[in-house]
Amino acid sequence: MDARILIVEDDQSIRETTAIGLRQAGFTVAEAVDGHSCSYLVFCSGEESQVVIAPVNHLTTKLSRLSANICT
């Protein structure tokens, strides 16, 4: 499959279990442990994700704090 999915989850076991299942289903998966690493992957990595899986309160809080220097 062509879809790349970004999983944002601080709990390693949940993140890894989800990633394994998605990879077995044929998806390309990127993983982020927190909002900062998610922001970097979304805005600075140069790779596009079609789907982001994250706890909504976690993601919105972190992304609302973005600054111009996030890619450094």
Higher pLDDT, 35 or 69: 35
Percentage of residues of the chain with pLDDT beyond 90: 29
Average pLDDT, the chain: 79
Edge-to-edge strands, sheet with 51-53: 28-32, 4-8, 51-53
- Where do the structural domains in the chain lie, given as residue ranges? 4-63
pLDDT tens string 20-32: 999 999 999 999 9
Element (H, E) at 14: helix 12-24
The answer as to CATH 3.40.30.10 being correct for domain 4-63 is: no
